[in-house]
Structure 1
Amino acid sequence: MAERRSRRWLWIGAVLVAGAALLSASQTTLPFGGPGRAAAAVAAAPRVVVSPADGSTDVAPATAITVAAFDATLQDVTVTAADGTPLPGALSADGRTWSATQRPAFATEYRFSGTAAGPGGSVAVTGTFRTADPQDRLVTASAPWIGEGTTVGIAAPIELRFDTTLSEEAKAAVERRLTVKTSVPVEGSWGWLPDTKRGSRVHWRPKDYWPPNTQVTVHAALYGVPLGDAGFGESDLTRSFTIGRAQIVKADVTSHRMVVIRDGEVVLDVPASYGLESDSRRVTRSGIHVVTSKSPTVYMTNPTFGYYNVKMHWAVRISDNGEFIHANPASAYAHGRQNVTHGCVNLSTANAKAYYDTALYGDPVEVVNSSVPLSKADGDVYDWTLSWEEWQSLSALAPRS
């Protein structure tokens, strides 16, 4: 009996010893701290991506120039032209991305350099690219009506003109690079007007008249932008200007008077004569005209009606079809009584001078109750004859059916 019990304890002891051995063996394979754990994971080697890719050619200068590091941070990144000129740039807050802050020159080779370092080691930043050679295919943009720091009226469109005709794709590329910043919220949209012999043109128009005293900056970031067969944008363009007081001319042709309202108050109410209604060629067009220029003296010519170089004074142009507000003593008998002009708004010399002195580019002249509407046939600025929906449809970025 004692021998049997002794054998049973020996068997239990053998099992316990074997279990302890198994437990000890399993401990050597557990991925926990302490002696005998598995080796730690190897840190990933740094990876660097340069853009444009190494060896790229014909790169548009408007292309973003960047260096991005993965599993590392960047150190001493430079992008340098072949003549040693550096391209300015800045490193992101996390040190993983470098971006050029200036666009590169045309027809120039650039080289990336620097280091990306991380837990897995370090690698060199390398690569080259060459920008496109425009071969004199450069597109120039201008803003002919708004000078830097000027004050304009509440209906003033922003116009950009291009010295060549752009394709629809190029117009869309341009529009994506245009911004309008205002001191107060203003809803507006770009609209491409029909091309002329001089080239393409685009206007920015607010949905409603500009709020008075708004500060405006328009920026066209066009340098180096690829514009298809037209070439590349030659340079950027920026204009900052101010919207002035709210002055509106109310011109009801049936009243034979012209009323000027400034900031809600009538400041001028004078007798006038408008275009002869019995001849559609002479009718003063109905619709919102925009003041585009003025001159103390102009010489007016209209071969259709047999007059040449007739000297007129205090002339404010309100359309490109020959419509002005100006002095005309010869029609004084009709002022306030009947419409006899060839489409202009005739005033006395004193009244024309009084209005002339207040007129700004962009002031609206609202003509009503004539038999012929203002249209795109009447020149450059017919923006306000279109509904807001019609105007928005002129954007190169508007959905097309």
Structure 2
Amino acid sequence: MPRQKVIAALVLVLALVSACTSETGGQASPPAADERPPVAKLTAAPADKATGVPVKDPITITVTEGALDSVELANATGKAVEGEIAEDKASWSATEPLGYGKEYSYTATATGTDGKVVELAGSFTTVAPKSTPRATINPVDDAVVGVGMPISVKFPEGPVTDKAAVEKALKVETSGDVEGSWAWLHDRQVDWRPKEYWPANTEVKVTANLYGVAYGGGAYGKADLTTEFSIGRNQVVKIHTPDHRMDVYRDGKKVKSYPASNGRDSDPNLNTPNGTMIVMAKEKVGNFSNPRYGYTDVEKLWAVRFSNHGEFIHENEENRSNIGKANTSHGCVNLFEADAKHYFDSAIIGDPVEVSGSRADMPTTSDVNDWLFSWAQWQSMSALN
């Protein structure tokens, strides 16, 4: 073959080889930096299009491999929901509660570690309750109550079926260490009482974070409740019915002893029943009509109620001849008028009244029966035990 033809063939082979290879040894070249996808990733909780979102669930926007620039969450009318970006700019959280049955929309932007900006948008809808029953709490703010006073949270508009969820939302704080427990007296009332009587002069704060709590049956808490009150001095009334006296103790020391006529001994239905009750109400003039026993329009002075079973401490000058000598009442504690007023002036709501020596016990079905249960029984009535 002539020399020129050999050279031409070699040039052709080299050209073909060059066309089938690359400078990277056969691998595709990487895309330019500005063509790579952003590294930052935004995530929302709840997710886009979520429905039935509990209003107490955390509402968050988070970013990985980047930092948040802005987040906006608003309801259907455009009103913004308050929130804050964490110090490390990796997350945002709503700081105010959401409304029931409302749609919320969110938008967020973040800058990745690669300098690229990413965006996120979405919406969700909160749970729509079948009902939002109200609740009440007692004692009320600034009250000063006796050492036997329980804390009561009541649900007058409907029963609670998820008692554990409600109980977890309740908190009791005290100025000193006080052992106590919640107990469900029935499905519309949960009470807290200490194991022993409150220490005198204790300051108490109760928080019931009930808004958003599922009570069961489609019912959700209407609003949060709080109260702050004080325990007063330690005063306890002790009545041993066979003694025909009513003794008053302050800080464990007897300070007064009044002659008394208690419930009729011969008839257990008319006894002043055994048990620990508390002062529930005070009336300067109380009506003690009882048609069942044939008397109406009977009014007595200085009436102190200590149960809803029908028992009071009050004056009864008409029974003067038996006061201090015999038990002849229909269950109340009769005192001379001067003694009744003296005691009336000293009593406050929540003072314990301890009765013993009768043939009948106070039924635990009566109202304000917290101290009729042993401590073990009381603890067993908590939904969390």
- State the TM bucket, normalised to the shorter chain: 0.7 to 0.9
In structure 1, the gaps of 5 or more residues are: 1-41
For residues 157-193 of structure 1, give each alpha carbon's deviation from its aligned partner in whole angstroms, at most 9, with x where no partner exists. Answer: 1111102333432x22111111111111211111111
Q: TM-score, normalised by structure 1?
A: 0.82
Matches within 5 A, 1:387-398: 387-398=374-385
Match of 1:38 in 2: none
State the identity %: 42
- Residues 352-367 of structure 1: matches in 2 within 5 Å? 352-367=340-355
1:351 and 2:339 aligned: yes
Q: Report what 1:340 is aligned to.
A: 328
Size of the aligned set, in residue pairs, is 350
Aligned residue runs from structure 1 range 41-52, under 5 A: 45-52=39-46
Q: 1:119 to 1:360 in 2, by over 3 A?
A: same
Q: For each residue in 1:362-388, what CA deviation from the matched residue of structure 2 results, as whole angstroms up to 9, or x when unmatched?
A: 1101111212222323x2211111111
Contact residue 50 and residue 125 of structure 2 kept, 8 A: yes
Distance, in Å, in 2 between the alignment partners of 1:116 and 1:228 is: 40
Alignment of 1:174-185 (within 5 A): 174-185=166-177
Residue 192, structure 1, aligned to residue 163, structure 2: no
Q: In terms of mean alpha carbon deviation, does 349-358 or 100-109 score higher?
A: 100-109
Alignment check: 8 A CA contact 1:320 1:380 kept: yes
Other-structure match for 1:158: 151
- Structure 1 contact 251–367 (Cα < 8 Å) conserved: yes
Preserved contact between residue 77 and residue 125 of structure 1 (Cα < 8 Å): no
Tell me if structure 2 keeps the 8 A contact 1:166–1:230. no
From 128, 141, 144, the counterpart of 2:123: 128
Matches of 1:230 and 1:302, distance apart in 2: 43
8 Å contact from structure 1 (residues 168, 396) kept in 2: no
Give the drift of 1:290.
0.9
Q: Give the TM-score normalised by the residue count of structure 2.
A: 0.85
Gaps of 5+ in 2: 1-35
SS at 1:301's partner residue? coil
151, 162, 173: which one aligns with 2:165? 173
Q: Name the structure 2 match of 1:327.
A: 315
- Which residue of structure 1 lines up, in the alignment, with residue 13 of structure 2? none
> 1:81: which partner in 2?
75
The change in CA–CA distance for 1:84 and 1:257 in structure 2 (over 3 A counts) is: same
Letter in 2 for 1:179: K
8 Å Cα contact 1:165/1:230 also seen in 2: no
Change (3 A) 1:276 1:221: same
Consecutive aligned runs of 4 or more in structure 1 exceeding 4 Å deviation: none
**Residues of 2 paired with 1:308 and 1:62: CA distance?**
54
Q: Secondary structure at the match of 1:281?
A: helix
Within 1, Cα distance between the matches of 2:287 and 2:49?
A: 61
Shift of 1:320: 0.7
Q: Is the 8 A contact 1:180 1:216 kept in 2?
A: yes
Q: 1:383 aligns with which of 363, 367, 370?
A: 370
Question: Shift in Å at residue 203 of structure 1?
Answer: 0.5
Partner of 1:220: 208
Contact 2:269-2:360 at 8 Å conserved across structures: no
Structure 1 residues 207, 75: CA separation in 2 closer, same or farther (over 3 Å shift)?
farther
Q: Is the 8 A contact 2:38 2:117 kept in 1?
A: no
Which range is displaced more, 48-57 or 284-293?
48-57
User: 2-side partners of 1:106 and 1:194: how far apart?
Assistant: 28
